[in-house]
Amino acid sequence: MKITSSAFEHQKEIPSSYTCDGQDINPPLTISDVPSEAKDLVLIVNDPDAPNKTWVHWTVWNINPDQKKIIEDSVPKEAQEGVTDFGNSGYGGPCPPSGEHRYFFKLYALDEKLDLPPRSDINQLEEAMTGHVLEKAALIGIYSR
Tens digits of per-residue pLDDT, 116-143? 998 899 999 999 999 999 999 999 999 9
With 0-12 / 13-18 / 19 or more C-beta atoms within 10 angstroms meaning exposed / middle / buried, residue 51 is: exposed
- Give the range of the structural domain holding residue 113, as residue numbers without chain letter: 2-144
Residue 130 to residues 22, 90, 94, 114, 118: CA-CA distances in angstroms? 35, 23, 27, 11, 18
Residue 104 CA to chain centroid, in angstroms? 7
61-106 pLDDT tens trace: 999 999 999 999 999 999 999 999 999 999 999 999 999 999 999 9
Strand bridging mode 80-81 / 2-4: unpaired
Give me the mean pLDDT over the 17-45 stretch.
98
Number of domains composing the chain: 1
How many CA atoms does the CB half-sphere of 104 hold within 13 Å?
Answer: 15
CATH assignment of the domain containing 26: 3.90.280.10
Does residue 115 surpass a pLDDT of 90? yes
